[in-house]
Structure formats: structure tokens, C-alpha cells
Structure 1
Amino acid sequence: MNDYLVSDTIVDWKAPEVRQKALDLTRSLAGDVDKARCLYEWVRDAIPHSNDVGMDVVTCTASGVLRHGTGICFAKSHLLAALLRAVGIPAGFCYQVLRLDPPVNNELVLHGFNCVYLATLNKWIRLDARGNTGSIDAQFSVEKEQLAFDMDPAAGEFIYETIFAAPVPSVVDKLRKYDSRKELWLDLPRAF
């Protein structure tokens, strides 16, 4: 479980601004479920997805997402994991393989989200802080999972069952390679 609490160069929860934000948001909350819900909803709602708001910056580290106030799904998952880890809640990374939207030559890309361990419930739950839109309605639930995107297995879409303790290198490499989200959008991470 310690691997899901690590602070590193990407999930840099020991950065003062990340740790302070986590403590400020959860100060009045006691249990891990309430803290996880609060942090999830804050990242989902207060940090817009860069594509949704037309921002061209590419963020990767948790502190960078917090500083710029935006990120794509992967970057937002890095921030959520950092905030959760800062208050002692184990958090990992999950990846979903989806068709491009709109579909282009049936190409598949990765979508990133989190898996969180809630000790009081003795269970992992998957959370998708991508950010809701008119057609996306991801929610926090300990009962029934509600991620941002439904899957179409007939189109080759699926979720990797592994809960990764750190973001996968192919994702980090893509986020570090580009300064422009528009350029990144043409070379999104693929299935691994």
C-alpha cells in the first residue's frame, strides 16, 4: 500500500502548495470517504479540462496542474492522486482505451483516471476527475461506478485492470514532449 502513497516528480504531493491545498480542502472533514469525495469533486469541478476551455498549455505534474489551473485527463489524475496521498489516502492510476472522438480510422487512445483505496470500506473505487460536460457525467460513488466514458467492447474499448502506483511512462513522456495541447492532441498516448 505504501507505493500508492509515494510523492515523486509527477505526483509531487510534498510540494508545499499541493499539500496545503489538500489540507485546506479537507480541514473540516474526518473520514477518508468524505475527504476523497471532497478532493475528487474539487479536481473534477474546479480544475477544467484544457480541451473543454480551449487552453493550450500542457501540464503534467500535480503542482503544475494546480499552478496553471488546468490539465487533460492524465494531468488531472496526477493532481487528484497527489491531493489524496497528501491526506494519507492511497491512490493509483487506471487507463481506459477509447476510440478517438470523433472517430478517425478507428484509432484508439488512452484515457486516464484514478483508483482510490478507502480503508474504512476496505475497498478500491475508480474515480474519473476528467471534468463533466453536457454529455459527460462522472460521479463519486462507493456503490456504483460512474466514469466519464462508457465503453464499446465491440470497438475494442476496454479498461486495463491494473491499478498502477505511478503514471505509466508512455503518458508522462507524451505530456513532457509537448508544450501545446493542440500538438499533443495529434499524438495522444495509445494502448500499451
Structure 2
Amino acid sequence: MEQFLSPSEFIDFEHPAVAAKACELAKGAGSENEVIKRCFEFVRNEMKHSADFKLNPVTSKASDVLIHGTGYCYAKSHLLAALLRCNSIAAGLCYQRLSVGDSGPPYCLHGLNAVFLRGVGWFRIDARGNKPGINAQFCPPVEALAFSVRPPEERDLPEIWSEPLPSVILALRSYKTYDAVLRNLPDIELLP
């Protein structure tokens, strides 16, 4: 579990602003699940999704998402992982492969989180941000994610990563504006 509790370049919970926000969100919480819910709802509701709100700059580190108040789903998942890990709650990164236009090719990755819940195990949560047609919630033991997949080309990727996928970081670091990222969203080749 150590890898899911540790800081890193992109899940930089040792940054003073991230550490302070993590402490603030946990203050007075009556349970670990309450801390998780507070962190989840803060990232979901207060950090704006870059494409939804047409916002720059493109962020990748948790601290940058917090400072600028915006990020793509991937970057928002980095912030949520950082807030949880800072509170000693094991958190990882997950991905779905979804249709960009909701009707077949092209496809892209969507970033979300997994958190380790006592008595439940790994549980996925999606803080991308709600809008009409998207209603992600934290309501264990039932997952309420932003998107459901339509096989065979759309998939829930089963892995839980301690660090972001290289293709995700490449997309976030290669383009300077939200619309450039939107035109170049990362994807992954599916195995047969």
C-alpha cells in the first residue's frame, strides 16, 4: 500500500497549499469516509473541468490544479489522490476508455480515482465535475461514476495505478491550452 500513500511529482501533497487544504478538509470529520467525501466533493465541485469551462492553464500537478482552480479529469484525479494520501488514505488512479463524441471513434482515456475503503476494498470515485447528464457521487458500496462504458471499444480499465500513465502526462505537458489538449486527448490500444 505504500505506493498509494506516497507523494510524487504529480501527486505532490507535500506542497504547502495541498497539505493545508487536506488538513482543512479533514478537520472535525467524524470518520474516514467523511474525510473521503469532503475531499471528493471539494475537487468535484470547486475545481473546474478545463474543457467544460474553457479554462487555462493546462495543469498536471495536484498543486497546480489547486492553485489555478482548474484541470482536466486526469489532473483533478491527481489532486484528489494528493488530498486523500495527505490524510493517510490509500488512493490510486484509474482510467476508462470512452468515445470522444459519444458515438464511436475517436476514443480517449478518462481519469478517475480508486480509494481503499475499510470493509469494502478498492472503490472507484470520479471527481471530474457534474453537469447535465453527469451525476458522480460518493455513496459506497455503490459506485456512481460520471460515465458508464459501452463495450467492446469502451472499457473500464481494471488497473489501479499509483502514478499517472505516461500518455496522460505527455498530453498535459505537450499542449499549452485547454483546446489543444481537447484535440489531442490520450488513448490506449486495447488488447484483443
Partner of 1:168: 165
Aligned residue identity for 1:111: H
- Report Cα offsets for 1:91-147 as digits up to 9, x if no partner: 0000000001254x611100000000123x251110000000011001102121111
Counterpart mapping for 1:1-192 below 5 A: 1-101=1-101, 103=103, 106-119=105-118, 121-154=119-152, 156-192=153-189
Distance in 2 of aligned mates of 1:9 and 1:35? 23
Aligned letter for 1:72?
A: Y
Q: What TM-score comes out, normalization by structure 2 length?
A: 0.95
Question: What's the Cα RMSD here?
Answer: 1.2
Aligned identity (percent) is 40
User: Does the 8 Å CA contact 2:56/2:70 hold for their aligned counterparts?
Assistant: no
C-alpha deviations, 1:136-189, integer Å up to 9, x for none?
0011021211110111114x1011101111111110111111111111111110
- Read off the aligned partner of 1:48 and give its amino acid letter: K
Note if contact 2:120-2:141 (Cα within 8 Å) is conserved in structure 1.
no
Count of residues in Structure 1 that have an aligned counterpart in Structure 2: 189
Cα distance in 1 for residues equivalent to 2:151 and 2:65? 32
Would you identify which runs of 4 or more consecutive aligned residues in structure 1 move more than 6 Å? none
**Which stretch shows the higher mean deviation, 61-70 or 26-35?**
26-35
User: Which amino acid letter does the alignment assign opposite residue 129 of structure 2?
Assistant: G
* Aligned partners of 2:54 and 2:178 also within 8 Å: no
Specify the SS of the correspondent of 1:112. Answer: strand
CA distance in 1: counterparts of 2:126 and 2:102, whole angstroms: 20
Please give the TM-score of this superposition, normalised by the length of structure 1.
0.95
Gapped regions of structure 1 (runs ≥ 5): none
* Cα distance between partner residues in 2 of 1:69 and 1:173: 21
For residues 171 and 64 of structure 1, what CA distance do their matches in structure 2 show?
Answer: 16
Cα pair distance change 1:189/1:24, threshold 3 Å: same
Q: Which structure features the higher share of strand residues?
A: 2
